[in-house]
Chains A and B, each alone.
Chain A
């Protein structure tokens, strides 16, 4: 299952809060899709330190598409 968080029209810290809340309930094998207009470096370091893997793509309109999953193992 994929959970979508569109942070593009939301004022900080809302996208970060929503993402962290969604991570709390993210099940093994599920995916969290986060859409932003910037690279969220603080989130990346939280993900790295807490056992999550992510993949980032940038769309033509400048949207950063970040797909987050629990790291295997």
Chain B
């Protein structure tokens, strides 16, 4: 198409895809586990099943997909080139896969000994990833606000991994640490410092670009990352000092920040000139509405402490955060990134006009919207199952089928890529 232009070396397409293709199947495992365990699994956040479910989603689904997105996104969005991305992906992804299975097995079967194997694998995989990504993010000359969000995100991942390793080692070796406080701090850095900051940093670029909105307001992009860092540091102080007085204030500030980000994203979608209702836009809407529901639920927690004292309330918040916000946003993102990457890498083959691939044909639109509807149904069932345990098996089955459908749609995108690639090569032979 542009034979006289030389394109920069994009990371090989296998780098993000090996992460993306694995992620949904951890969601399938989570759904099957819930369907198998039934309603008792959701009685509190501390049941072995709830801990295993949380990590199947957080480390299995989310971390796999987010590592793949990070390695692909940072060269494109902030011009930061990761050192040997294929080698990094080939080492990090299988290590993470194995470490996640060991961690989940240890949590589910109450076998802390499995943690002693999982922890070094996590530290090796995530330590390596953090170092190469941090170097790339600090060397780039870019100055966008996305860059600061991504820098905080990679720092957040490092803190989350270190705290998680400390918790796992404490369980395995019977060390005396403030377990409850450490767990809350680990959770805050994992959800706020890593996951939300990465989502925000990616959103600043991807929402205007792919959902055709105006840019995020500068006050939000300028202050969101530094305020989040400040709040997380203050939140972490609960390990060392009595938090009774100021912890609610920090939680309130965090809720306000979440509502500012989610509200801005929904407002940008609502006020865009060209309305598109593809799966990515709708998935983002589901994610942001879930975030607002999380904010309202968190506020209820402060206004009615008796309700908040019910252990199921924390599970309700967890379902909103993990399944409602992050699984939705990540699924929507993968539905946009994979067709785009297919197109980009096929372009690098200089296809003749007759073999020009259409980005919208990479994953059938009906398959994506059908899967989205099933996902929304699964999230609603999961939320209902928190209070009506009889629904847990159905909710688990719906979530498993939804994630399997997502996984199948992503595999279909790879098959389309291969088909187009063969067509381009065949067309080139006949020229």
- Interface residues of chain A, those whose CB is within 8 Å of chain B, are 8-13, 17, 20-21, 23-24, 37-39, 41-42, 44-46, 49-50, 61-63
**Which residues of B lie under 8 Å from residue A50 when comparing CB positions?**
4-6
**Which residues of B lie under 8 Å from residue A39 when comparing CB positions?**
77-79, 142, 144
A38 contacts B209, CB within 8 Å?
yes
A41 contacts B79, CB within 8 Å?
yes
- Tell me whether B359 is interfacial, beta carbon within 8 Å: yes
- Tell me whether B430 is interfacial, beta carbon within 8 Å: no
In the complex, which residues 1-51 of chain B have their Cβ closer than 8 Å to any Cβ of chain A? 1-2, 4-8, 10
From A12, A44, A63, name the one whose CB has the most chain B CB atoms within 10 angstroms.
A12
A9 contacts B274, CB within 8 Å?
yes
B8 contacts A12, CB within 8 Å?
no
B212 contacts A9, CB within 8 Å?
yes
Q: Closest CB-CB distance, B269 to chain A, in whole Å?
A: 14
Partner of A38, one of B75, B205, B218, B347: B205
Main SS of the interface on chain A? loop
**Which residues of A lie under 8 Å from residue B273 when comparing CB positions?**
9
A46 contacts B7, CB within 8 Å?
yes
Number of B interface residues in the complex (CB < 8 A): 33
**Which residues of A lie under 8 Å from residue B79 when comparing CB positions?**
39, 41, 44-45
Could you list 19 further interchain pairs (A-B, Cβ under 8 angstroms) beyond the known A8-B212, A45-B8? A9-B273, A12-B209, A13-B340, A24-B4, A37-B208, A37-B209, A37-B213, A37-B214, A38-B208, A38-B209, A38-B215, A41-B142, A44-B79, A46-B7, A46-B8, A49-B5, A49-B8, A62-B216, A62-B218
Partner of A41, one of B75, B214, B218, B359: B75
Bound form: Cα–Cα A41–B344 in Å: 14
Identity of the chain A residue whose Cβ is nearest the Cβ of B274 in the assembled complex = A9
- Tell me whether B230 is interfacial, beta carbon within 8 Å: no
Q: List 26 A-B contacts (CB under 8 A).
A: A11-B210, A13-B340, A20-B1, A24-B2, A37-B214, A39-B78, A39-B79, A39-B144, A41-B75, A41-B78, A41-B79, A42-B8, A42-B10, A42-B75, A42-B76, A45-B8, A46-B6, A49-B6, A50-B6, A61-B214, A61-B215, A62-B208, A62-B214, A62-B215, A62-B216, A62-B218
Q: Closest CB-CB distance, B101 to chain A, in whole Å?
A: 36
**Which residues of A lie under 8 Å from residue B274 when comparing CB positions?**
9
- Tell me whether B313 is interfacial, beta carbon within 8 Å: no
| A46/B214 contact (C-beta < 8 A), A12-B209, A41-B79 known | no
Partner of A23, one of B5, B10, B144, B209: B5
